[in-house]
Amino acid sequence: MTLRGALPPEVESYDGREDTLLRVLAPVDGAADATFRRLRGRPWADAAAAVLSNVSDYGYVWIGVALWKARRPGAARRRAVLELAGAGITSYAVNKGVKLLVGRSRPTGAPAGAAGGSSHVAVRTPSSSSFPSGHTLAAFCTAVVLTEGKAQTAGALTLATAVAASRVHLGAHYASDVLGGALMGSAAGLLVRRALHSHLQENELSQAHLPVE
């Protein structure tokens, strides 16, 4: 994979639907690109970005978190399964829907699947449009849904933020793609979390009122 270097958004090619995005988001994307440009090509940074991108691909890291939460049978296991399913289905649906509506082109030099720059770590070639970042949306959605307590939530959101940064570092997304993904993912996660909480409460109440034989 060739990492994106000096690629100011204003020189990227956009179709008609993207003209507004270009004008509004170019300053944000250009500033972020200038920041990441200083790190691209450094083996440790390229390797870290590639690994973070890979472990979050298809939700592998979040599946691991759910499996850890489901390690004991009973209510905790059922909750973990519902949380993972809810976050996964919701983030997938939101990501697909928004990508179809926006249709933003990927940055020039987006990952070609060969390697994470100088790190020689393989990275999957993106096949969808750019906005929002699916990795980031799913990471924030699942981080919000799966975690309990301030410490867990802070740790999961820190990981999600690192995933978002990795996508910009690799040149797979513009900074505005990951910002949009983070906001959408967080909002979707809060909705899923609230819906699951209500469902589980209702289930507990119904179980409590079952006749004892």
Q: In the chain, pLDDT over 70 holds for what percent of residues? A: 78
| CATH of segment(s) 9-208 | 1.20.144
Q: What is the mean pLDDT of residues 13-39?
A: 73
Joined tokens for residue 125: 């070639």
Domains of the chain, by residue range, sit at: 9-208
Identity of residue 70: A
Cis peptide before 132 (omega within 30 of 0): yes
Q: What value does the mean pLDDT of the chain take? A: 82
**146 close to 99: Cβ distance less than 8 angstroms:** no
pLDDT digits (tens, 9 = 90+) for 51-99: 999 999 988 999 999 999 888 888 888 888 999 999 999 999 999 999 9
CA 155 to chain centre: 15
Length of the chain: 213
CA–CA distance, 37 with 22 (Å, rounded to integer):
20
**124 close to 111: Cβ distance less than 8 angstroms:** yes
Residue 61: how many CA atoms within 13 Å on its side-chain side?
Answer: 21
Give 79's DSSP letter: H
CA–CA distance, 32 with 38 (Å, rounded to integer):
11
Q: What is the pTM assigned to this prediction? A: 0.80
CA–CA distance, 101 with 68 (Å, rounded to integer):
36
